[in-house]
């Protein structure tokens, strides 16, 4: 039996590049088909009927027609446009970072419903509140967890002894925490504070709402961001491009 010529799916648009005169190639993240590239014809024209329904960081219901090479989007209807994210420079930048993260860590056509729902939930959380750092860390941690890179935070990754409430280390190479003695002998390990360790452990095992209730001061937020970012950089063997912009936004751009 041949596959039907058209099919429908939900999707979150995570990337788009220009194609030819008025078309775009979109990278979609879908519940059933995982990551997927598709052509959206004419979307750069003002009167395109797809237009805003296939904009970045939009959750849409799509109808696609099988193409020779890439499938073609024939109909689109927005489910959630996450407008509060798009109206806020800080949040839109974080949304783009999340998209880049998902794009970098996933292959095409691999079904992953859980990851889809994590991505969707994170965008929902981002559009709910301006305070988004916790949501970002929660997303990163659970993305890693889900992909099989869950950092080991209970025991020393080297000697397996339980961690003392002491000065411990985090090693991106070993994917977890090292006790004081082992950390000293691992050149690439960085010190991790007890509070950071506690928060990370808690985040690993709670849901989004609980994660956002934890109060985190500025220094701790910076430390958590650094630890996870370094680990992600080690796993991907590259720095994500959007991190440069996130840093700049935080330090240089005048706040509203």
Partner 1 sequence: MSADSISTAEPIARLIEEFNKLPGIGPKSAQRLTYHLLRAPASEVSALADAIKNLKEKLTLCSVCLNITDSDPCATCHDEERDHTKICIVEEPIDILPLERTKKYKGLYHVLHGVIAPADGIGPDELKIKELLSRLNDGLVTEVILATNPNLEGEATAMYLQRLIAPLGIKITRLARGLPYGADLEYADDVTLSRALEGRQEM
- Residues of this chain that interact with partner 1 (CB under 8 A) are 15, 20, 46-47, 49, 51-53, 55-57, 78, 81, 83, 86-89, 92-93, 96-97, 99-100, 103, 241-242, 244-246, 248, 253-256
Q: Which is nearer to partner 1, 166 or 247 (CB)?
A: 247
Q: Which is nearer to partner 1, 15 or 212 (CB)?
A: 15
- Nearest CA to 22 out of 2, 51, 1 is that of 51
- 126, containing H or E segment: helix 113-128
Q: Which is nearer to partner 1, 196 or 246 (CB)?
A: 246
- Nearest CA to 143 out of 123, 121, 118 is that of 118
Residues 55, 62 contacting (CB under 8 angstroms): no
Could you tell me the sign of the dihedral formed by the alpha carbons of 120, 122, 125, 130, in that order? negative
Q: Which is nearer to partner 1, 97 or 138 (CB)?
A: 97
Q: How far is the CB of 103 from partner 1 (least distance, A)?
A: 8
Q: How far is the CB of 206 from partner 1 (least distance, A)?
A: 29
* C-alpha atoms less than 13 angstroms from C-alpha of 245 in its C-beta half-sphere: 14
Q: How far is the CB of 50 from partner 1 (least distance, A)?
A: 8
**How many CB atoms lie under 10 A from the CB of residue 114?**
11
Q: How far is the CB of 207 from partner 1 (least distance, A)?
A: 28
């Amino acid at each position: 039996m041949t596959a039907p010529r058209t099919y429908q799916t939900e999707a979150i648009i995570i990337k788009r590049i220009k194609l030819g005169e008025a078309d775009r190639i979109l990278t979609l993240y879908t519940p059933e088909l995982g990551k997927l590239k598709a052509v959206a014809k004419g979307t750069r024209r003002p009167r395109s009927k797809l237009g805003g329904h296939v904009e970045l960081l939009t959750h849409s219901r799509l109808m696609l027609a099988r193409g020779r090479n890439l499938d073609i989007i024939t109909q689109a209807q927005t489910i959630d446009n996450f407008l509060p994210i798009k109206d806020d420079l800080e949040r839109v930048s974080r949304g783009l970072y999340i998209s880049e993260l998902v794009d970098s860590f996933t292959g095409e056509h691999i079904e992953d419903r859980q990851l889809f729902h994590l991505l969707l939930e994170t965008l929902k959380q981002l559009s709910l509140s301006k305070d988004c750092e916790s949501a970002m860390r929660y997303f990163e941690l659970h993305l890693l967890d889900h992909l099989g890179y869950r950092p080991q935070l209970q025991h020393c990754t080297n000697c397996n002894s339980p961690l003392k409430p002491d000065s411990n280390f985090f090693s991106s190479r070993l994917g977890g925490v090292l006790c004081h003695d082992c950390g000293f002998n691992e050149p690439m390990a960085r010190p991790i504070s007890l509070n950071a360790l506690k928060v990370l452990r808690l985040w690993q095992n709670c849901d989004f709402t609980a994660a956002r209730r934890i109060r985190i001061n500025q220094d701790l937020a910076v430390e958590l961001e650094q630890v996870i970012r370094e680990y992600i950089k080690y796993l991907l063997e590259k720095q994500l491009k959007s991190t440069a912009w996130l840093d700049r936004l935080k330090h240089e751009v005048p706040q509203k």
